[in-house]
Amino acid sequence: MKTTILLLCVLVASICQAHCPGIAVDESNTLSVRIEFQSTVKGQPLVFSQTYTNSFGEDYKISAFRYYTGHVELLPDIHSGKLRRDHIYRLYDAAIPSSWVIEFSVLSGKYNAISFQLGIDSIDNISGARGGELDPAKGMFWTWNTGYVMAKLEGESAFSNVPTGMFSYHVGGYKGRYNTIRRVGLKFSPDQQLQIARAHAVTLVIEADIDKWFDSAHKLSIAGKSFLHSPGEWAAVYADNFSAMFKISSMEFK
Amino acid sequence: MMRKIIIAICVFLGAGLFTFQISEKEFFSRHALSATPMKFKIPKGFPGPQYKFENNPLTVEGFELGRKLFYDGRLSKDGNFPCASCHQQFAAFATFDHALSHGFKDQFTTRNAPALFNVAWMKELHWDGGINNLEVQPLAPITAGNEMAENIDTVIAKLKADPGYRRMFTRAFGDGRINSQRMLKALAQFVAMLVSANSKYDKVQRGEAVFSPSEQLGYAVFRSKCAACHKEPLFTDDSYRNTGLTVNGRINDYGRMAITGNPNDSLKFKVPSLRNVYLTFPYGHDGRFYSVGAVVDHYRFHVVNGPTTDSLLRNKLNISDDERFNLLLFLRTLTDSGFISNKRFSAPPP
């Protein structure tokens, strides 16, 4: 019986940690986490006006890159389960620097990986009018086939098969095998694991390499497909490539 | 003792989760509790609604705000196309006498505007079921280039500029913040309240009236030939079916397949309710039929079989001329004249 109560207390404590950001936690016992999402092309920060070349030799310029993240978790090294720390969805927009940073706190401890979701849970795709980051006015919402666009990449290329020379990929869909929600897990190196266990604060820079949108899990040339604005088989394929774009480029500790 | 502690912990835990939930859907401020609650009455014999009123508590003020929005041209780009321009009360909120409705710059929609009533019972909306929640439905007409052609931010800006709206949003939601979520919840309150359940048919079911002998015979025909899809009491089973209509080559509308990507859904459209059918002329997803009789004759003579044509219709429907006559008389008993003259649903006084 005593152990049950103890377990319950631990549970309550951990849920409160996760869900009641208002409750103060002992400073000395917490780790402040700051994540900066960065868009890159082949390791260099994305520049909107610049022309790049993908692995198929196709030129491209990016004009928009936006995506939803959510359910960010630090994974402890014991297999006792993951601690969900940040339920909130965020819309990353390569054009709006204030959207690049996520900050939250967790209990300090030994963590060996970070994990986050790309996209919006199915339940949140079917539950009506939402506000904040999920406001349909943000332009990440399909009005004729209800659901969120999880990621958007737009630009131009001489190889586009659309008359205007534009390419436009809107990746979304939450149903069955066409589900485009993906979870990304990024491991820390042994050295980073040691350091995070001792730190009060950590800043992670996570970069998404846009070149991989075209070539990673699947080979997707611009000439082959320049336009995608609906859920389905193709969206799921692009979601695979999208989720393979992410890696930790640096971690700094305090 | 132990028990009590555990219960206390559980309550605490529950409360924690609850406060979290509230912050998630903060569209209501606490003051909203002072708005006047309104009840959604489920007519006798109807199932429970699909629309989840828990997430959008009905109030008189919310409904009135939704009604004003429904009749307000400012939701469209040029000011001429409020919801009510295509959904007219005297036609049970369908577009009367137009196969395809028209919107911004005289462009036509590609589908016939459905009547709006008993929408709260629909699992999905539109002919292809592409909309999964009543609240987000208005985004489709507001942003479609051939309908209202407006963008959401501009609509919200227009509403914010109007002190009258600021007052109404305050009354409905507790403070004057105007955003897409509140606008959509208010519209949903109005549209969900459009309940039609007082036709002669309903009165007969309640024992307040009797069918004429012809109507009674027509009802029997209906039950044997039509009710499998047009299921009582809503007169739709909310499924998608191919009734053997040929594709209109200028529109190329394959219905449900556009939403699911599944070839088995090709040419399937949502079964429409037949309540008020004599008010909603013309008929079919593209408005190709100019009378109820013509639809019945389609089932009798013109069903074209393709891979997805419904098995109930593959051999056409065997209905004699007499049966057709009585059937049409029965369908007339589905008209709810109180619904189309209900002042609560008509344009609000300016």
Give chain A's mean pLDDT: 87
* B247/chain A closest Cα distance in angstroms: 21
What digits encode the pLDDT tens for the residues A87-140?
Answer: 789 999 999 999 999 998 888 888 999 999 999 999 999 999 999 999 999 989
Preceding peptide of B282 cis, ω within 30°: yes
**What type of residue is A22?**
G
* Interstrand relation of A182-187 and A111-118 (parallel, antiparallel or unpaired): antiparallel
- Asked if B11 reaches chain A (Cβ–Cβ under 8 Å), the answer is no
Which residue has better confidence, A241 or B26? Answer: A241
- Closest chain A CA to residue B131: A146
Residue B44: exposure state from Cβ atoms within 10 A (0-12, 13-18, ≥19): exposed
- Considering the domain architecture, whether residues B215 and B114 belong to the same structural domain is answered as no
Nearest-CB residue to A143 (from B20, B140, B181)? B140
Q: B326: domain range?
A: 200-338
Which residue has better confidence, A30 or B244? Answer: B244
Residues of chain A neighbouring B136 (CB-CB closer than 8 A): 128-129, 136, 141, 143, 146
Q: What is the pLDDT, as a whole number, of residue A12?
A: 44
* Most B-contacting residue of A23, A121, A146, A230 (CB-CB within 10 A), to test interface: A146
- Closest chain B CA to residue A21: B20
The first and second tokens of residue B31, run together, are 């003051």
- Considering the domain architecture, whether residues B190 and B211 belong to the same structural domain is answered as no
- Considering the domain architecture, whether residues B270 and B314 belong to the same structural domain is answered as yes
- Asked if B13 reaches chain A (Cβ–Cβ under 8 Å), the answer is yes
3-state percent helix, strand, coil for chain A, nearest multiple of 5: 25, 40, 35
Domain tally for chain A? Answer: 1
Q: Answer whether residue B291 is part of any domain.
A: yes
* Contact in structure between A67 and A92 (CB atoms under 8 Å): yes
**What type of residue is B177?**
R
Q: Answer whether residue A159 is part of any domain.
A: yes
* A249/chain B closest Cα distance in angstroms: 32
* Contact in structure between B126 and B240 (CB atoms under 8 Å): no
* Most A-contacting residue of B180, B184, B254, B265 (CB-CB within 10 A), to test interface: B180
Q: What SS3 state is found at B125?
A: strand
- Considering the domain architecture, whether residues B204 and B188 belong to the same structural domain is answered as no
Q: Answer whether residue A134 is part of any domain.
A: yes
pLDDT at residue A74 above 70?
yes
Quick one: pLDDT band at residue A154, thresholds 50, 70, 90?
very high
Q: Answer whether residue B349 is part of any domain.
A: no
What CATH number is given to the structural domain containing B186?
Answer: 1.10.760.10
State the Cα–Cα distance between residues B283 and B291, nearest whole angstrom: 7
State the 10-residue block means of pLDDT for chain B, 350 residues long. 46 39 46 80 95 95 97 82 92 82 58 94 96 95 69 91 94 93 97 98 97 98 98 97 90 90 95 97 92 97 96 96 98 97 93
Residues of chain A neighbouring B17 (CB-CB closer than 8 A): 15, 19
- Considering the domain architecture, whether residues B21 and B83 belong to the same structural domain is answered as no
State the Cα–Cα distance between residues A149 and A142, nearest whole angstrom: 7
Nearest-CB residue to B180 (from A1, A129, A231)? A129
Instruction: Of A247, A65, A29, A246, give the one whose Cα is nearest residue A140.
Output: A65
State whether A15 and B27 contact (CB < 8 Å). Answer: no
Q: What is the pLDDT, as a whole number, of residue A22?
A: 39
Instruction: Of A4, A176, A91, A127, give the one whose Cα is nearest residue B55.
Output: A127
Q: Which helix (H) or strand (E) segment is A186 a member of?
A: strand A182-187
- Considering the domain architecture, whether residues B322 and B275 belong to the same structural domain is answered as yes
**What pTM was estimated for this model as a whole?**
0.85
pLDDT at residue A13 above 60?
no
Q: Answer whether residue A17 is part of any domain.
A: no
pLDDT at residue A204 above 50?
yes
- Considering the domain architecture, whether residues B182 and B214 belong to the same structural domain is answered as no
Nearest-CB residue to B135 (from A129, A137, A147)? A129
Residues of chain A neighbouring B254 (CB-CB closer than 8 A): none
What digits encode the pLDDT tens for the residues A155-190?
Answer: 999 999 988 999 999 999 999 889 999 999 999 999
* Most A-contacting residue of B26, B127, B136, B148 (CB-CB within 10 A), to test interface: B136
Q: What is the pLDDT, as a whole number, of residue B252?
A: 85
Lowest-pLDDT choice from A26-30, A51-55, A119-123, B281-285: A26-30
State the Cα–Cα distance between residues B169 and B159, nearest whole angstrom: 10
| Buried/exposed B131-157: b ≥16 CB within 10 Å, e otherwise | bbbbbbbbbbbbbbebbbbbebeebbe
State whether A141 and B136 contact (CB < 8 Å). Answer: yes
Residues of chain A neighbouring B186 (CB-CB closer than 8 A): none
State the Cα–Cα distance between residues A130 and A98, nearest whole angstrom: 21
| DSSP conformation letters of B10-48 | HHHHHHHHHHHHHHHTTTS-GGGGGS-B---PPPTT---
* B156/chain A closest Cα distance in angstroms: 9
- Asked if B69 reaches chain A (Cβ–Cβ under 8 Å), the answer is no
Q: What is the pLDDT, as a whole number, of residue B40?
A: 95
Domain tally for chain B? Answer: 3
State whether A128 and B26 contact (CB < 8 Å). Answer: no
Helices (H) and strands (E) in chain A, counts: 5, 15
State whether B12 and A12 contact (CB < 8 Å). Answer: yes
- Considering the domain architecture, whether residues B170 and B215 belong to the same structural domain is answered as no
Q: A107: domain range?
A: 30-253
pLDDT at residue A19 above 70?
no
Q: What is the pLDDT, as a whole number, of residue B8?
A: 46
CA distances from A167 to A154, A156, A157, A172, B289 (A): 6, 5, 7, 16, 41
Q: What SS3 state is found at B272?
A: coil
Q: What SS3 state is found at A107?
A: strand
Q: Answer whether residue B316 is part of any domain.
A: yes
State whether B20 and A19 contact (CB < 8 Å). Answer: yes
| Buried/exposed B330-344: b ≥16 CB within 10 Å, e otherwise | bbebbbbeebbebee
